[in-house]
Amino acid sequence: MKFDKAVATREFEWKIHNFRRDIVLPMKEDRYLASRKITIVLGNNETKWSLRFYVKSKEISLLLRLDDAECRDFKARFSCFIPEKAINYSRKLPVNDFSEKHALYYENTISRLRLINLEELFDDPTNYFIEYDTLTVKIKIELISGFKLQDNECLECTSSTRDFFFQFRKLFEDKIFTDFTIICSDGKEIQTHRCILATNSPVLSAMLQTQMTESKNGKMKVDDIKGEVMEEILKFMYTQDDTSLSLVRLKDIYYGAEKYQIAKLKEKCISYMVEFMNVKNVLHYLMLAEFYNDNYLILRCVMFINAHHQEVRKNKCWDKLSKNQLDIIKEFMKENESNVQLYESTL
């Protein structure tokens, strides 16, 4: 079923109580407050969304997240404003693409909106955005055209689906009927199943279907991935569950996903890198993205650097950036004229 040029809109109000006491002051880096889920129906299709509220570097940001969908081919945008006695403080984002080729955005961040600066919110006596320590934000989400239902496809994880993946997790952890061994760089040996490797990785599938030594002996030596990292990669292959991925080992997991062309795992790694990006790790992520020519991750890194340039510039890794990486940052910042002079003064 296809809906051409169809539009669905949902407006709602989000009241954040005890705003200064419980939210702004105690909120730490990389923490967020999540709204309730909002359902938007278009025809026979249903999508579920939520908003995440961040306080970071003295700025308040809202992030729109797609949590569930029965379809994949559509575009969306959101806008919001803070009602105030004298004015309506408004912000609006451009349309974001949710088509199949942009599947990276699924279940993860799709749009981040800088809402207001903390000084504007609290220190300006002419503003009355907060009443009785309650911040009210009004949000409008729009789904725009190209809404296409995929055959027999639903992103909702039912109880039977969870049970199914639980059994596969048990299969991995209990080493039931394993028929292949991976020997990692630190000497750790992990028992696994050929069928799982082949269905998740085209690289491993090709290897297992040929007369290579690894396929014949039922063993594969991996000289560049440690056992703890390989276990996380394999666990994802069995369960498709990203909630237990280690943030500390994200770069190494990304490397493994890239090496063995595990597309879904790579997407999950990127989404976590973007979500938990900070002044300490952004340059490491930029180097990784540039090495693998990952344009989306490069863009998100330079956007972050552009927004936090003075803090990032103090990172000791700054001096390790290549000329090409510095040129990438400079080119992006040139699009924002106010930042050009700042950038050139630090070179």
Each residue's pLDDT tens digit, 17-33: 776 666 666 655 556 77
Q: What is the pTM of this model?
A: 0.52
Q: How far apart are CA 290 and CA 297, in angstroms?
A: 9
Whether residue 82 sits in one domain with residue 218: no
Residue 158 lies in a domain: no
- What is residue 89's predicted lDDT score, i.e. its pLDDT? 44
Residue 156 lies in a domain: no
Q: Is the CA virtual torsion 14, 20, 26, 29 positive or negative?
A: positive
Residue 307 lies in a domain: yes
Residue position matching structure tokens 């800088």 = 114
DSSP state of 103: G
Q: How far apart are CA 115 and CA 61, in angstroms?
A: 5
Q: Show the domain range for 202.
A: 168-271
Whether residue 6 sits in one domain with residue 145: yes
Whether residue 296 sits in one domain with residue 266: no
**Which of 77, 63, 69 shows the shortest CA–CA distance to 103?**
69
How far does Cα 196 stand from its chain's mean position?
Answer: 25
- What is residue 245's predicted lDDT score, i.e. its pLDDT? 75
Whether residue 135 sits in one domain with residue 34: yes
Whether residue 260 sits in one domain with residue 224: yes
Q: How far apart are CA 48 and CA 40, in angstroms?
A: 6
Whether residue 191 sits in one domain with residue 328: no
Residue 160 lies in a domain: no
Last residue of a domain, one of 237, 271, 305: 271
- Mean pLDDT of the region 97-107: 37
Whether residue 265 sits in one domain with residue 285: no
Whether residue 312 sits in one domain with residue 264: no
Structure tokens belonging to residue 225: 């991935």
Which stretch of 29-33, 70-74, 216-220, 331-335 has the lowest confidence by average pLDDT?
70-74
Phi first, then psi, for residue 190 (nearest 5°) are -120, 125
Residue 19 lies in a domain: yes
With a CB cutoff of 8 Å and minimum separation 6, the contacts of 192 are: 172, 178, 180, 181, 182, 234
- What is residue 121's predicted lDDT score, i.e. its pLDDT? 56
Whether residue 94 sits in one domain with residue 39: yes
> Which of 93-97, 125-129, 304-308: highest mean pLDDT?
304-308
Last residue of a domain, one of 115, 149, 183: 149
Phi first, then psi, for residue 88 (nearest 5°) are -110, 115
At 6, the amino acid letter reads: A
Confidence label for 233 from pLDDT (cuts 50, 70 and 90): very high
Whether residue 218 sits in one domain with residue 107: no
Which stretch of 89-98, 131-140, 233-242 has the lowest confidence by average pLDDT?
89-98
Residue 131 lies in a domain: yes
> Which of 3-7, 187-191, 299-303: highest mean pLDDT?
187-191
Which stretch of 72-81, 84-93, 243-252, 294-303 has the lowest confidence by average pLDDT?
84-93
Summarised one tens digit per residue, pLDDT across range 258-273 is 999 999 899 889 888 8
- What is residue 163's predicted lDDT score, i.e. its pLDDT? 56
- Mean pLDDT of the region 216-242: 90
* Contact by Cβ (8 Å): 193, 205: no
- Mean pLDDT of the region 214-228: 91
Residue 297 lies in a domain: yes
Whether residue 13 sits in one domain with residue 143: yes
Instruction: Give the residue with greater pLDDT, 205 vs 296.
Output: 205
DSSP state of 37: P
For residue 34, the domain's CATH number is 2.60.210.10
Whether residue 286 sits in one domain with residue 255: no
Element (H, E) at 259: helix 250-259
For residue 253, the domain's CATH number is 3.30.710.10
Counting the structural domains of the chain, the total is 3
Phi first, then psi, for residue 342 (nearest 5°) are -60, -45
